[in-house]
Amino acid sequence: MAKIDFGGTMEEVVTSEEFTLEKAREVLKDEVIAVIGYGVQGPGQALNMRDNGINVIVGQRKGGASWDKAVADGFVPGQTLFPIEEAAKKATVIQYLLSDAGQVTMWPKIKECLNEGDALYFSHGFGIVYKEQTGIIPPENVDVILAAPKGSGRTVRTNFLDGSGINSSFAVFQDYTGRAKERTLAMGIAIGSGYLFETTFEKEVFSDLTGERGVLMGCLAGVMEAQYNLLRKNGHSPSESFNETVEELTQSLIRLVAENGMDWMFGNCSTTAQRGALDWAPKFRDAVAPVFEDLYDSVKTGKETKRVLDLNSADDYREKLNVELDEIKNSEMWKAGAAVRALRPENRKK
């Protein structure tokens, strides 16, 4: 564990310098890791572990697109790819990576597949923390652990392949074997985490549900749409409105934030922009603060969980989500965005 000063607060983090891949392999050498669910996180974590020499199998509902994707990724039916329960029974570490609503539906069957000393692994605290709604209450004779990549499963894989990795939080909810933390850290390294920081199941799920409804996804989409609509209402062209709202952010400014922080990005813009941004940032911060308060309350009280389970438990949940995603895709703003992306030099040559 390395002690790092995070803006005045000392935290202990785990990097692959301290917990090497060789150590992770040694810790996991007698384990059979089953990735249950091959949707978004499943592929990223399973492929990274396989590349890292970990004994990983996949459990997935037969016949669907996810099963076919696992086959296309080289998992072999009957050898490294199995129906969900068969994979879970073969495993000693069950990585529960079905959708959060799917975890609830499948829990009665998964619970029966657990053996004494197994590890039940999550990448989100949802099922465990909101147990009154999910019914996911693990038996006392297993470890219950979490490694939660702070990023899309797609980039868990692409960042692994480019050598960067995604940071992950880790937590131990239940330590039956006395080895739960070591198993968790080994799993975190095996899936390709950049570095690991400690949390709890509750802190992970409260922060993650807030972040994805807030700055990372929901708030981001909302403020972009608000600015685009304002510019269009005032006669600005779709090109000008989309470039000023999205393209300049993704192709220029956010990269500077990623490179060296917000002041770096500001400092590499005009002093005209710096003055204005410094003046208006507090106004926007104060305007959205009450919304974030409402959001966190809705997360903490389980209202968000209820909504997710009510809607995402329906048989046609994915089709209904895709209808709403298509509305975004087919909006003027994001159709303009598709045209702008196509005009990027690297795309024009295609």
Ligand X SMILES: NC(=O)C1=CN([C@@H]2O[C@H](COP(=O)(O)OP(=O)(O)OC[C@H]3O[C@@H](n4cnc5c(N)ncnc54)[C@H](O)[C@@H]3O)[C@@H](O)[C@H]2O)C=CC1
Ligand Y SMILES: CC(=O)[C@](C)(O)C(=O)O
Residue 61 contacts ligand X per CB under 6 A: yes
CB of 157 to ligand Y, least distance (A): 13
Q: Any binding-site annotation on 248?
A: yes
Binders of ligand X among residues 122 to 161 (CB under 6 A) are 123-124, 126, 148-149, 152-153
Q: Where are the alpha helices (DSSP H) in 199-342?
A: 201-213, 218-233, 238-242, 248, 254-260, 262-267, 271-300, 303-312, 317-329, 332-342
CB of 155 to Mg ion, least distance (A): 11
Give the three-state DSSP class for 149. Answer: strand
Q: Any binding-site annotation on 212?
A: yes
CB of 334 to ligand X, least distance (A): 21
If you ran DSSP here, which 8-state letter would residue 77 be given? B
Among positions 28, 34, 41, 81, the unique one binding ligand X when judged by CB under 6 A: 41
Tokens of 325: 């995603």
Q: Any binding-site annotation on 244?
A: yes
Q: Which region, judged by CB under 6 A, interacts with ligand Y, from 49-57, 174-182, 211-219, 325-333?
A: 211-219
Q: Which region, judged by CB under 6 A, interacts with ligand X, from 40-48, 112-120, 196-204, 239-247?
A: 40-48
Residue 270: which region, alpha, beta or left (left: phi > 0; alpha: psi -120 to 50)? beta
Q: What's the 3-state SS for 214-244?
A: CCCCHHHHHHHHHHHHHHHHCCCCHHHHHHH
In a 10 Å sphere around its CB, with 0-12 CB exposed, 13-18 middle and 19+ buried, how is residue 159 labelled?
A: buried
Give the three-state DSSP class for 199. Answer: coil
157 touches 44 (CB < 8 A): yes
Q: Any binding-site annotation on 99?
A: no
Whichever of 104 and 333 has its CB closer to ligand X, that residue is 104
61 binds, among ligand Y, ligand X, Mg ion, none (CB under 5 to 8 A by kind): ligand X
Task: Give the residue at shortest CB distance from ligand Y.
Answer: 212
Q: Any binding-site annotation on 324?
A: no
Residue 321 contacts ligand Y per CB under 6 A: no
Q: Which region, judged by CB under 6 A, interacts with ligand Y, from 67-75, 137-145, 146-154, 277-285?
A: 146-154
What is the separation of C-alpha 325 from the centre of its chain, rounded to a whole number of angstroms?
18
Residue 97 contacts ligand X per CB under 6 A: yes
Residue 208 contacts ligand Y per CB under 6 A: yes
Among positions 14, 28, 39, 92, the unique one binding ligand X when judged by CB under 6 A: 39
Give the three-state DSSP class for 93. Answer: strand
If you ran DSSP here, which 8-state letter would residue 30 be given? T
Q: Which residue pairs, CB below 8 angstroms and at least 24 apart, start in 288-295?
A: 288/219, 291/219, 292/210, 292/214, 295/210, 295/213, 295/214
What is the separation of C-alpha 176 from the centre of its chain, rounded to a whole number of angstroms?
27
Whichever of 50 and 213 has its CB closer to ligand Y, that residue is 213
Strands (E), 76-192: 81-82, 93-96, 119-122, 143-149, 166-174
Q: Which region, judged by CB under 5 A, interacts with Mg ion, from 15-23, 44-52, 208-216, 239-247?
A: 208-216
Residue 196 contacts ligand X per CB under 6 A: no
Among positions 11, 26, 112, 212, the unique one binding ligand Y when judged by CB under 6 A: 212
Number of residues that bind ligand Y (CB under 6 A): 7
Report the C-alpha gap between 33 and 54 in whole angstroms: 8
User: What are the residue numbers of the active site?
Assistant: 124
* Residues within the interface to ligand X (CB under 6 A): 37-42, 60-61, 64, 66, 97-100, 102, 105-106, 123-124, 126, 148-149, 152-153
Annotated binding-site positions for Mg(2+): 208, 212, 244, 248
Annotated binding-site positions for substrate: 270
* Residues within the interface to ligand Y (CB under 6 A): 150-152, 208, 212, 216-217
